[in-house]
Amino acid sequence: MDIEKVNSMDFGEFVDVFGNVIERCPLIAAAVWSQRPFSNLEDLEKHFFAFIDALPQSGQEGILRCHPDLAGRELQRGTLTAESQREQRSAGLTSLGADERLRLAELNAQYRARFGFPFVLAARLSDPAAVRRELARRLHRPPAQELRTALGEVKKIGHLRLADLLGAHSARR
């Protein structure tokens, strides 16, 4: 899909296509649509990220809370979004043994209890051992620093999803 096609989309089509660039936050795509035309993928992405950066802390935490746990209940129940399902599968999180799943569930619960939002990581760039390591490491950080890191991960996920939609190759890690 090229940028001319993106700029020609009406509101409904734009939200259908880009509504899950930020997990379960179609409102962001709805707001970004008003800022067209976009000059290229980077420009489009800039508008998504600027919206996130302009939110008060409560809104930024709200975005994090829209994310499902990695290897969590929604994966077991099959209720993930298509994008999250694909990312968790590519990280090897759909084929964990029971012990490993339990260990991650414990860490996810500790993280949520400490920060009040779920652990978010660009899963597609990771694997089960790295997810566990990152979770254990980030669990002990100061909350303000962790909020910044988690929003950075939301942006990495959004970057990869946008690059998929526009057929661009992504060099960012």
| Binding-residue pattern over the window 54 to 93 for ligand GUN, x denoting contact by CB under 6 A | -------------xxxx-------------x--x------
- Pure H helices in the chain: 3-8, 11-18, 26-33, 41-54, 57-65, 73-77, 82-90, 98-115, 128-138, 143-166
Centre a 10 Å sphere on the Cβ of residue 159 and count the other Cβ atoms it contains: 20
Is 122 one of the binding residues for ligand GUN (CB under 6 A)? Answer: yes
> Residue 56, preceding bond cis, omega within 30 degrees?
no
Classify residue 61 as exposed, middle or buried by CB count within 10 Å of its CB (0-12, 13-18, 19+): middle
How many residues bind ligand GUN (CB under 6 A)? The answer is 14
| Active site residue ranges | 67
Among 123, 135, 147, 162, binds ligand GUN (CB under 6 A): 123
Is 121 one of the binding residues for ligand GUN (CB under 6 A)? Answer: yes
Q: How far is the CB of 81 from ligand GUN (least distance, A)?
A: 7
- What is the CA 16 to chain-centroid distance, rounded? 17
What DSSP state is assigned to residue 4?
H
Over the range 43-53, which residues count as b (16 or more CB within 10 Å of their CB) and which as e?
ebbebbbebbe
**Which region among 12-20, 97-105, 119-127, 139-147 touches ligand GUN (by CB under 6 A)?**
119-127
Is 23 one of the binding residues for ligand GUN (CB under 6 A)? Answer: yes
Q: How far is the CB of 160 from ligand GUN (least distance, A)?
A: 8
- What is the CA 79 to chain-centroid distance, rounded? 16
Residue among 41 and 104 whose Cβ is closer to ligand GUN = 104
- Contact (CB, 8 A) for 66 and 99: no
Residue among 6 and 68 whose Cβ is closer to ligand GUN = 68
**Which region among 10-18, 28-36, 94-102, 113-121 touches ligand GUN (by CB under 6 A)?**
113-121
Binding site for ligand GUN (CB under 6 A): 23, 67-70, 84, 87, 118-123, 157
